[in-house]
Amino acid sequence: MLTPADLPPSIQLQRDAPLAEWSTLEVGGTAQWFTPVDDLQQFQQAQTWAEKEGLSIFYLGEGSNVLFPDGNLPGLVLRNLIKGRQKSGNEVELGGGEKLENVVCWLNDLGLAGMERLYGIPGTLAGALVGNAGAYGQQVSSVVLEVSFWSGDRVEVLSASDLEFAYRHSLFKVHREWFILSCRLGLTRSVESLQDVSDEILSRRLEKYPEGLRCPGSFFKNITLDEVSQETLKKIPENFIMFEKIPAGKLLEAVGANGVRRGDAQFASYHGNLIINLDQANSQDILGLAREYAERVWERFSIRLEPEICILPEDAWPKWSNQ
């Protein structure tokens, strides 16, 4: 049997690693094992070790879309720091561990358009691909050409059309064992000052997400109209519907979520779909609050709110859906 000592010195394995510092919510107990990986070789070494030990693996980017449990999370948390940037014409190849905001600035400088409106979304490029991150009319999938990933026993490449990108969804949400290594994006040349567009978006975003806010972004997904029956739709006030979606925040606000607090977890007073850690919130406070108001939405509107964020462990949230 391999022990942590058998791993190459480049792998820094940490036991009972505190998780709160790896999540923008700043909530969480400890990970049984934790390691950052800088390249494919380190990834494979850590992966092989975990498999031999029979450990489950959780892939982590910047932790801007996760809720860790309060206790010990069994298995290995593997943090993706795989960087790299290359440009060829209007195409770029990027490591999945690149920070999204750095990528956007780099593309803006190169005069390559397609991601400038995503400025201000925290996290890695890989994390953005998993949830098809989007804002202000842009989503990452619209510039993806192909993604390279570890499928369990080898590196594979899939083109965007095979990755089932949809609103806050991709095939990576189904195949949790796939680890994103890099991706190729296709952009459009622009003469506009793209950084000006990004900066303007950022100033709008700061109204909802002031610096230092402990949160995971929107807690629940908005509801696409094709998810709900005509019967259900009759219960939704017409002015709630925006861009073919029912915003979860409107439903939560209608059932009185705004400003409600449990322990140090609180729904933002100005937005129903934002749960904040005021200081010392724990996962139970957050889940309790989210669950209580999701139930209220169900009772009033017959709509099941689905978390947009990744909640650990997997069975901490019921597997319900509107279909």
Ligand X SMILES: Cc1cc2nc3c(=O)[nH]c(=O)nc-3n(C[C@H](O)[C@H](O)[C@H](O)COP(=O)(O)OP(=O)(O)OC[C@H]3O[C@@H](n4cnc5c(N)ncnc54)[C@H](O)[C@@H]3O)c2cc1C
Which of 50, 126, 144, 297: binder of ligand X (CB under 6 A)? 126
User: Applying CB under 6 A, which part among 84-92, 173-181, 193-201, 247-255 lies near ligand X?
Assistant: 173-181
Is 43 among the residues that bind ligand X (CB under 6 A)? no
171 CB contacts (<8 Å, ≥6 apart)? 158, 162, 163, 164, 178
Per the listing, tokens 């570890």 go with 150
For residue 99, the 8-state DSSP code is B
The DSSP H or E segment spanning 88 is strand 85-88
Q: Least distance in Å: CB of 270 to ligand X? A: 14
DSSP output for 116-174:
GGGTT--SBHHHHHHTT-EETTEEGGGGEEEEEEE-SSSEEEEEGGGTT-BTTB-GGGT
With CB under 6 A, what is the number of residues at the site for ligand X?
33
Which of 37, 60, 183, 275: binder of ligand X (CB under 6 A)? 60
User: Applying CB under 6 A, which part among 4-12, 26-34, 211-219, 286-294 lies near ligand X?
Assistant: 211-219
Is 308 annotated in the active site?
A: yes
Q: How far is CA 87 from CA 92, 121, 184, in A?
A: 4, 22, 10
Is 66 among the residues that bind ligand X (CB under 6 A)? yes
User: Applying CB under 6 A, which part among 12-20, 42-50, 118-126, 286-294 lies near ligand X?
Assistant: 118-126
Is 24 among the residues that bind ligand X (CB under 6 A)? yes
Is-cis flag, bond preceding 74, omega within 30? no
For residue 316, the 8-state DSSP code is G
Q: Residue 176 phi/psi, 5° resolution?
A: -65, -15
Q: Which residues pair with 158 in a beta bridge?
A: 147
Identify which of residues 95 and 112 has a Cβ nearer to ligand X in the complex.
95
Q: Among residues 79, 168, 184, 304, which one is catalytic? A: 168
Is 216 among the residues that bind ligand X (CB under 6 A)? yes
Is 179 among the residues that bind ligand X (CB under 6 A)? yes
Q: Residue 254 phi/psi, 5° resolution?
A: -65, -25
Is 96 among the residues that bind ligand X (CB under 6 A)? yes
Q: Least distance in Å: CB of 6 to ligand X? A: 25
Is 184 annotated in the active site?
A: no
Is 218 annotated in the active site?
A: yes
CA distance 102 to 94: 11
Which of 35, 45, 47, 64: binder of ligand X (CB under 6 A)? 64
Is 133 among the residues that bind ligand X (CB under 6 A)? yes
Considering all CA atoms of the chain, what is the largest pairwise distance in Å, rounded to the nearest integer? 62
Is 157 among the residues that bind ligand X (CB under 6 A)? no
Is 130 among the residues that bind ligand X (CB under 6 A)? yes
Q: Least distance in Å: CB of 120 to ligand X? A: 7
CA distance 23 to 309: 12
Catalytic residues: 168, 218, 308
- Which parts of this chain interact with ligand X (CB under 6 A)? 24, 58-66, 80, 96, 121-124, 126-128, 130-131, 133-135, 172, 178-180, 209, 215-217, 310
